[in-house]
Structure 1
């Protein structure tokens, strides 16, 4: 299910959706108070049934498939599944605030909504205990494609994508902000060297954290093109940037959170780029732990078309040719780069 943020309609309070409304899940009838947005149901006994097992194991410097066991999914849980630097933390924060009734979250976002299959220096036991202690709906994240985890009944999977060249330039800034980064990482080389590595890089399931155009496309193919996840909710970063307020509405709709206008307004204001950057220690993964040189730099610019004026025509042409080879479907390529908003309007 692709979510479009263009246009408006009364039935969804301002956001238009390009596919039919999803069938209501059993938990949706009792879990929300329409006026307060507060949780009315304890989910601890609602363990989600596995409909299909994982098909692959992805691992890397951070990614550890053995850590999936830290999260025992319940019906009503939400899994944000994106390639790196595609609005993961932004989406998590919006969803967490919607679930908890406003911007004042009970814990820092990484504690409340962990990257479940990654080792960022927090023990697996601590992550598991923190997740099990939450009695309501939970939001977790992964950068692993959908064939790397089971399909669960009643778990909402939200996927967000971004123009691959925006991913590339955001990754470069991201890597320079990590204290213990490998100085030989291709992302730290000159733009000319780095873009060559990004374009030409191949997928290595044992080193999946080495991001490349191929890993972004594999993520899209195994998560979206495969049709593996029933009722997958699909978003594009550029569409979300175009109207953050509508993005909050659309995420609430996708997750079947019955949020009123006042809650939508407060969450939209609190999750604007400048607001999140100003409170980076609360929202950045492992924020406040010294993992980053500066927590605030985790939030770089919140913009699109970062490559303009930075890549040569030849480099852009090489990228386009490689993208077409990896993802032959013209419509899929157009959406992956531009979302539902024409490129000329961004």
Structure 2
């Protein structure tokens, strides 16, 4: 049953939120909704392992990014998920209010410190292939600046950070900026009390992968099989994903120079240290405190292990 309709339609050269209007939910569907570069594919891998209860490498292409209009026609994506007999997994990079929300669907949102998001985004845009840029450009509308901005943004880490953090607009055509990251996070935070929405944090996945996988498994009502659990956890590690990247990310070779080796970059936080100055970091603090509530700022910075259960946190 529809719990809440999307409150707005968002389009740029890469995404079109109206594609979700054609989605027909199935009880038990899992949708991972995130800002880019927060650990989306890591979470996809974890959820895939839990659903299939197998550590064998599986191409994550079975879980479509439905709002991405440059990857495949909508009909093709819909036919793929309609033909699936297993529990379905999809993902999105839309703000939560731009998606229709259904009671029978379970949603997972992954968060990360914005400074780490910025450094990961730099690796992402720096290694996009010409084909990748061109496929996005095919959907460009008049006045759409995203594709050009990604091509022309700085490639030196500090300069890219200053470009990313620069105050501007949260319009979706500037989705490569901090304002859009903050807006996406703000859309999920007030909804965190929904029983079918789970908030996960990159820091917690790094600190206690097995524990966080158990937390996700419980949310999805998937029993833990202790006999195979160590194998599932190992298959979800960064090293294992990178080792098996050619099998689990088969399309990466067309989208990124270096393929999965580049897309699965380092899997670490704080790459901004020894890159940003004290003044640079103070700029982030100022922008983030202005854009985010105290509770959301604390959550993005620290995750569950430090800040506590987000459901119990104040706004």
- CA pair 154-53 structure 1, distance change in 2 beyond 3 A: same
- CA pair 287-196 structure 1, distance change in 2 beyond 3 A: closer
Paired position in structure 1 for 2:46: 94
Please state how far the C-alpha of 1:340 moved relative to its aligned partner: 2.8
TM-score with structure 2 length normalisation? 0.85
The residue correspondences of 1:148-187 to structure 2 (distance < 5 A) are: 148-180=98-130, 181=133, 184-185=149-150, 187=153
Paired position in structure 2 for 1:147: 97
**Residue 223 in 1 paired to residue 188 in 2?**
yes
The one-character-per-residue Cα deviations of 1:250-304 (angstroms, maximum 9, x if unpaired) are: 211121111211332221111110111122233338334x122122210111111
3-state SS in 1 of match to 2:211: helix
Contact 2:17 2:94 in 1 (8 A): no
Give, in whole Å, the separation in 2 of the partners of 1:131 and 1:194: 37
Paired position in structure 2 for 1:274: 239
Please state how far the C-alpha of 1:145 moved relative to its aligned partner: 1.1
Paired position in structure 2 for 1:109: 60
Please state how far the C-alpha of 1:225 moved relative to its aligned partner: 2.3
3-state SS in 2 of match to 1:58: coil
TM-score with structure 1 length normalisation? 0.78
Runs of 4+ in 1 over 6 A off after TM superposition: none
**Residue 263 in 1 paired to residue 215 in 2?**
no
Please state how far the C-alpha of 1:71 moved relative to its aligned partner: 3.4
Contact 2:217 2:223 in 1 (8 A): yes
Task: Flag the structure with higher helix content.
Answer: 2
Contact 2:167 2:179 in 1 (8 A): yes
The one-character-per-residue Cα deviations of 1:113-157 (angstroms, maximum 9, x if unpaired) are: 111110243222221111011112111100101101111011111
Count of matched residue pairs: 290
Please state how far the C-alpha of 1:230 moved relative to its aligned partner: 4.3
Give, in whole Å, the separation in 2 of the partners of 1:91 and 1:334: 21
Please state how far the C-alpha of 1:342 moved relative to its aligned partner: 4.3
Please state how far the C-alpha of 1:184 moved relative to its aligned partner: 5.0
The residue correspondences of 1:1-346 to structure 2 (distance < 5 A) are: 49-69=1-21, 71-104=23-56, 108-110=59-61, 112-180=62-130, 181=133, 184-185=149-150, 187-207=153-173, 210-227=175-192, 229-284=194-249, 286-288=251-253, 290-295=254-259, 296-327=261-292, 329-342=293-306
Contact 1:201 1:214 in 2 (8 A): yes
Give, in whole Å, the separation in 2 of the partners of 1:88 and 1:172: 16
Contact 2:21 2:100 in 1 (8 A): no
**Aligned residues: CA RMSD:** 2.2
